[in-house]
Amino acid sequence: MTLQRRVTRRQFLGATTATAGGIFMHGTVGQGADPIVLPSVADPADFFSYRLQPADRYIDSQRDNKAFAYVDGAIFLSEDNGHTWPHSIAFPSAKQITFSHILKNGNIIFATGSKLYLSTDKLKTYQPITVKAEDGSDYLPHTPQKADNPGWYFHTLPGVVSWDIKGTEIMVWGNYCNVVGGATPVNIYYSIDSGRTVKIAYAFGQNPCFQDNGSPGGAKTGTVLGNPANPVLARHIHTVAYNPVEDAFYSCTGDIDRGFGHECHWLRGVYDMKNDKWQWKVIVSDNSNTRYKCGGITFVDGKVYWISDANGPKPHDRGVFCCDPADITKPEKHTMLFNPGIESGNMIIQDGVILASHCAPATPMNTGLIISPDMGKTWAQCDIKELGKRSPTRFHEKNGEGWFRMDLRSGWVSRAEVLFLKPKERTRR
């Protein structure tokens, strides 16, 4: 594959384009294109409005006009985009919530470390959910070496984790783990009954580098975790996405080769709803400095889009890419739409807007955001400096008032605040 040239900090911050005021940059088509010239940092106010969450609660997820939030000791549901919170219930472990999702019928599924819960009645009550293994037996979390590091069994990076498929909402997600929270087996989960039953769709193998010795990220000693029958190893899952044209799911994982084989894979999965069976195939495995170490996989009109957070040995094969799904394994057939020059594994596409983010430890920006208002024809990069060093992640689709929602992480994984962002209509000059 042809690699793009490395972008220096000075080039990143100082380069300009020949288009409107140095703000826009045209996408770069094809792998044989000239080296990318990055645009200057744009004024966020030119591209979007933004605001932080209310100071009194953490809004963890949203859907349409609904929002789910927590404070210390309680969880809340809003039905008017967070203006009021009429539904609530005491939940002693609220500050340990690592994941939540609002389903189409209003059910709320949420998790704390290795425990999963469901409310079906607008938070009047909630019940624990026991995950089912692939053979139908109970899939029970391991007993952690330290109780305060049980593992991030259900935490995930994307905000979009369910899709309407042939009249049924199917929820599919994979856990981003083995960084903080304790060593964790790496799994893809699914539910076809609005969260009442959650099952394992795919279980990765036993990674020798992420055993449970009580440390936050795991180690090479301790309790061995994962599926002993699967030779495919990963540190964690970056994303799971659905392509309606193929009726197939795609997942990508991280991160590097630690001496036991690649951890960076793309998988393709097909679900047989009638027989409740999955078929998964690894379609590519590669190193951490390639475009296949990525996130934000999204399908639009049959095309697959993704953004690379390549961070292995230089040169880095980074950018926002697009291709036909059949060509995922053929880099020469990929179109690079834009290269931000910084690793990023978080992206969402909705209503023609592509929104992605910088990884805070890797960027000279404070809170770096990447935006294309026109499906990749033009691009801008913005820095919300007053927010400090933050990595935006868990992008949720726009709520009923047009606001995207995202976590702001200190470093790249520890939760800090929640940001809401509304793209502005733009007219090209």
User: 322 pLDDT exceeds 90?
Assistant: yes
**pLDDT tens digits for 233-284?**
999 999 999 999 999 999 999 999 999 999 999 999 999 999 999 999 999 9
User: 88 pLDDT exceeds 50?
Assistant: yes
Measure the CA–CA gap between 237 and 245, rounded to whole angstroms: 23
Q: Pull the structure tokens for residue 166.
A: 């042939």
HSE of 350 in the Cβ direction (CA atoms, 13 Å)? 18
DSSP structure string for 133-184: PTTSSB-PPP--SSTT----SS--S-S--EEEETTEEEEEEE---SSSSS--
8 A C-beta contact, residue 173 and residue 188: yes
- Looking at the domain assignment, is residue 310 inside a domain? no
- Classify 12 as helix, strand or coil: helix
- Give me the phi and psi of 2, to 5 degrees please: -90, 125
Four-point Cα dihedral 198, 202, 205, 207, nearest 10? -70
- pLDDT at 427 (0 to 100): 54
**pLDDT tens digits for 9-33?**
223 333 333 333 334 454 443 343 3
Least confident of 34-43, 176-185, 386-395: 34-43
Least confident of 12-16, 376-380, 387-391: 12-16
- Looking at the domain assignment, is residue 66 inside a domain? no
Percent of the chain's residues with pLDDT above 70: 90
Q: What is this structure's pTM?
A: 0.91
How many domains in the chain?
1
Measure the CA–CA gap between 223 and 220, rounded to whole angstroms: 9
In terms of Cα–Cα distance, which of 130, 137, 114, 141 is closest to 225? Answer: 141
Q: Pull the structure tokens for residue 238.
A: 């970056």
How far does CA 178 lie from the centroid of its chain?
A: 15
Four-point Cα dihedral 27, 369, 401, 174, nearest 10? 90
Rounded to the nearest integer, the mean pLDDT of the chain is: 90
Of residues 394 and 20, more confidence is placed in 394
Query: Residue 174's domain spans which residues?
Result: 93-292
8 A C-beta contact, residue 266 and residue 252: yes
Q: Pull the structure tokens for residue 237.
A: 């899952």
- pLDDT at 120 (0 to 100): 98
- pLDDT at 41 (0 to 100): 85
- Looking at the domain assignment, is residue 356 inside a domain? no
- Looking at the domain assignment, is residue 141 inside a domain? yes
8 A C-beta contact, residue 251 and residue 282: no
- pLDDT at 55 (0 to 100): 86
The single-letter code of the amino acid at 412 is W
**pLDDT tens digits for 235-246?**
999 999 999 999
Strand-strand pairing, 378-383 and 41-42: parallel
Measure the CA–CA gap between 326 and 320, rounded to whole angstroms: 18
- Looking at the domain assignment, is residue 71 inside a domain? no
Q: With cut-offs at 50, 70 and 90, classify the pLDDT of residue 156.
A: very high
**pLDDT tens digits for 167-212?**
999 999 999 999 999 999 999 999 999 999 999 999 999 999 999 9
Strands (E), 245-302: 248-254, 264-272, 277-286, 294-300
- Looking at the domain assignment, is residue 391 inside a domain? no
Residue 298 burial class via C-beta count within 10 angstroms: exposed 0-12, middle 13-18, buried 19 and up:
buried
- pLDDT at 426 (0 to 100): 65
- Looking at the domain assignment, is residue 355 inside a domain? no
User: 6 pLDDT exceeds 60?
Assistant: no
In terms of Cα–Cα distance, which of 371, 359, 297, 351 is closest to 328? Answer: 297
- Looking at the domain assignment, is residue 59 inside a domain? no
In terms of Cα–Cα distance, which of 350, 286, 354, 351 is closest to 322? Answer: 354
